[in-house]
Amino acid sequence: MTNAEIALALRSIAELLAIRGENPFRIRAYERAAMFLEGFPQDLEDVYHAGGTNALAELPGIGKDLAEKIGELVDTGKLQFLRDLEQRVPKGLRAVMAVEGMGPKRTQFVWEEFQVRNLRDLERLVRSGRLSRVRGWGTQSVQNIARAIETHRAFGKRLPIGKARPIAEALLRHLERSQLCDTVTIAGSLRRWKETIGDIDLLATSAHPERVMEFFCGLPFVARVIARGPTKANVLLRVGIEADLRVVDPDVFGAALHYFTGSKAHNIHVRTIAVAKGLTISEYGVFRGTKAHKGKRIACRTEEDVFRTVGLPYIPPELREDIGEVELAEQHRLPALLEAADLHGDLHLHSDFSDGSGSMEEMIAAAKRAGRSYIALTDHASVMGMVRGLKTRSPQQRGNVAAYVRRVRAAAAKVSGIQVLVGAEVDILPDGRLYLSDAELRQLDWVIGSVHQSFKQTPAQATQRLLRAMDHPALRCIGHPSTRLIGGRGELALDWDAVFRRAAERDIALELNASWVRLDLDDVRCRRAQSMGVRVCVNSDAHHPQEFDVTYGVHQARRGWLTRADVLNALPWSKLQQWLRRGRA
């Protein structure tokens, strides 16, 4: 039982409890634990075997009850509590809940009132028109749900990278530990860090390929073996996507890795160059002449070898989409892409002053542990009543801006060795005004403006909304600019070039929100922003001390061709201060 599988079980419990309308705190506890486990570097199984449930209970956010459930999962491979829940809630309801605009309450409602048990039932109900007559739904919201069902279907069986990657890494660890493989690595779109993944590709070298296949097909993740040969296997994983494993000869590993990493378009382009040089490149190697297998094989143990045979430098996987990278490589002008170590700061994170679950001091200390030398604490300032945080013209201590500023400064004083800006993530209202007053905004060091409601505006309205927000002198950054949720909510309809132009004129940063459900800006827009001279800010949007990892964001930035020079929080603290001061002037 791997961490990823345990996390999956906990997420399932959270979803099922939500549909049953149970206590939100209890649901949140399962979600938090799952999120923690997905990023936990040690194997839970090992922790459990070494120290029992007591050791598990000491991990952050786990506690006694969850520790016992995890123990049961590890011991028996199943969990009675989850089985009971699954019996009581129809299987298809989890897909219904995932449709944007549905959520747990509405899912529970259509299940109880209209006996909706799956997506098809929901679609039928929406079409029948009966739902629009129900109080609190309305024609508009039902239409939105109809559209969301379509989006949901189009997304199909692809997984967001944040769900696929931990599973692939767990598969990798199992294969490594089997000691049957000499090398094993991730290939395919996962190695190119695409934001959604259709299937998992793994590549290995081994002296015992058949034993590797047997081991792989017998792993607990595997729901069904689709095809199995002596050197390759294709299985359906329990999470619903397929995984391929191939064992290749170490002498041609580089050629195979290049081939199976793709993309197809990139491979075709490289092969065309090879042909012009009288060579043939395939998954089986690089050969002289135009007939593979017949010509003499040229060294291709590594990908560097393969690129060298056609006169190219190494091209990082994130760039391999045939969107100009091969041409630039030919001229030896590939960009030096952003590296994780380039990021000095994190300018978007929340504490329990708004909807985060760590105190200000805990969040600052955690950011420091994550290697940041400066941060901005940016609790929400939201017009929505249900979102806690800063409230405009609040007479109470709780939401008052001046009180917030004092609290952040006091928390910052308790943690040495990290610089803390007092910031806020302020709602951009539907007409483009910012939610806080000018006098309140002036008290803050750093203001992110974000859209959190009224997503369905016309292109003209939505664009005007952002342009007007950017005219406010206090605003320094637009948070998650498209507002999309991968596999869920669609995007604002924006005239992006107009937004980029204004951002460049006013030197306002656009965020690349590194949370894998957002990854917003996306790769294509990062590159467009760069070409128009806009700075991008790669932020965690952490809501918990464990959420400072920005790996997905860094790779998305690399897919968007961003270099250190394009990224605001790659500036060291002194340079960032200069940038902030210049903007004030």
CB of 97 to Zn ion, least distance (A): 22
- Is residue 382 near Zn ion by the rule CB under 5 A? no
CB of 418 to Zn ion, least distance (A): 19
Structure tokens at 321: 């989409």
Shorter beta-carbon distance to Zn ion: residue 206 or 378 = 378
CB of 137 to Zn ion, least distance (A): 26
- Please give the size of the binding site for Zn ion, defined by CB under 5 A: 3
Shorter beta-carbon distance to Zn ion: residue 255 or 444 = 444
d(CA 477, CA 394): 24
CB of 345 to Zn ion, least distance (A): 16
- Is residue 123 near Zn ion by the rule CB under 5 A? no
Shorter beta-carbon distance to Zn ion: residue 267 or 483 = 483
The DSSP element (H or E) to which 165 belongs, if any, is helix 161-177
Q: Which of 203, 243, 209, 204 is nearest to 223 (CA)?
A: 243
Contacts of 578 (CB under 8 A, 6+ apart): none
Shorter beta-carbon distance to Zn ion: residue 10 or 376 = 376
- Is residue 425 near Zn ion by the rule CB under 5 A? yes
Q: What is the 3-state secondary structure (H, E, C) of 208-276?
A: CHHHHHHHHHCCCCEEEEEEECCCEEEEEECCCCEEEEEECCHHHHHHHHHHHHCCHHHHHHHHHHHHH
Shorter beta-carbon distance to Zn ion: residue 450 or 556 = 450
Q: Which residue in 450, 463, 482, 515 binds Zn ion (CB under 5 A)?
A: 450
Give the binding range for Zn ion (CB under 5 A) out of 20-28, 217-225, 391-399, 535-543. Answer: 535-543
Shorter beta-carbon distance to Zn ion: residue 244 or 541 = 541
d(CA 457, CA 329): 42
Shorter beta-carbon distance to Zn ion: residue 196 or 450 = 450
Q: For Zn ion, which residue has the nearest CB?
A: 450
Q: Which residues within the stretch 538-557 sit at the binding site for Zn ion (CB under 5 A)? A: 541
Q: What DSSP string runs through 331-356?
A: TT----B--GGG--EE--B--TTTT-
Give the binding range for Zn ion (CB under 5 A) out of 115-123, 280-288, 381-389, 418-426. Answer: 418-426
Q: 170-202 burial, b for 16+ CB within 10 Å, e for fewer?
A: bbbebbeebebbeebbbbbbbbbbbbbbbbbbb
CB of 160 to Zn ion, least distance (A): 18
CB of 378 to Zn ion, least distance (A): 7
Exposed (0-12), middle (13-18) or buried (19+): which is 119, by Cβ within 10 Å? middle
Give the binding range for Zn ion (CB under 5 A) out of 20-28, 218-226, 397-405, 417-425. Answer: 417-425
Task: Please report, as ranges, the residues that interact with Zn ion according to CB under 5 A.
Answer: 425, 450, 541
